[in-house]
Amino acid sequence: MIKLIGAGMVIITCGLIGTLLGKNITKHVEEIRQFQFGLQTLETEIMYTLTPLPQALKAAESQTKGTPAKFFQEVGQRLKDGQGQTVGEIWSESLKKLTPYSLLTTEELSYLEQFGQGLGSSDREDQLKRLTRIKNYLLHREKEVETERSQFQKVWQTLGWSCGLVITLIFI
């Protein structure tokens, strides 16, 4: 009886791990989309309504959810507090704080950091070019990760359950 309970727990645990890994891919796509929404809001606020950057970041926060919303909130609040740092420094430090909670890859975080280095330090046309470049990059990454999700989400789930069964059969 104990063997059956142990076997069931192994199968369920491995299956849940596989399911969790599959869902992380979906969450990664959603996080990229949320950053896109936030950057689109920033573009609108900066380019068309001429909103100061702390208020533009507040608007980006309100248009996003999850980790990106917390990121925009952090940057906006630190800019508003005026701690004597440049926008680029605040952006970079906030990204580093975000990293443990984010599903973004190192490459995606690097692109976001490069974008932040020029934020608020050039004219509107350059800001628009930078925003367009980062939005295009994130759109491209979204499509890649979505393709990966469609290919591998079921694989991770099936692999989890299969590994659980194999481990159980080995020990029985």
Structure tokens given for 149 = 């999700």
pLDDT at site 107: 93
pLDDT at site 70: 94
pLDDT at site 5: 85
pLDDT at site 122: 73
The residue ranges of every structural domain in the chain are 30-151
CA distance 35 to 73: 13
- Per-position pLDDT tens, the chain of length 172: 788 888 888 888 888 888 888 788 889 999 999 999 999 998 888 888 888 888 989 999 999 999 999 999 999 998 888 777 888 888 999 999 988 989 899 999 999 999 888 887 777 788 888 889 999 999 999 999 988 887 877 787 888 888 888 888 887 7
Q: Check if the beta carbon of residue 119 is closer than 8 Å to that of residue 38.
A: no
Q: At what angle do helices 106-118 and 124-171 cross, to 10 degrees?
A: 160
CA distance 147 to 151: 6
pTM (2 d.p.): 0.81
120: left (phi over 0), alpha (psi -120 to 50) or beta: left
pLDDT at site 14: 84
Structure tokens given for 98 = 């975000």
Q: Check if the beta carbon of residue 145 is closer than 8 Å to that of residue 25.
A: yes
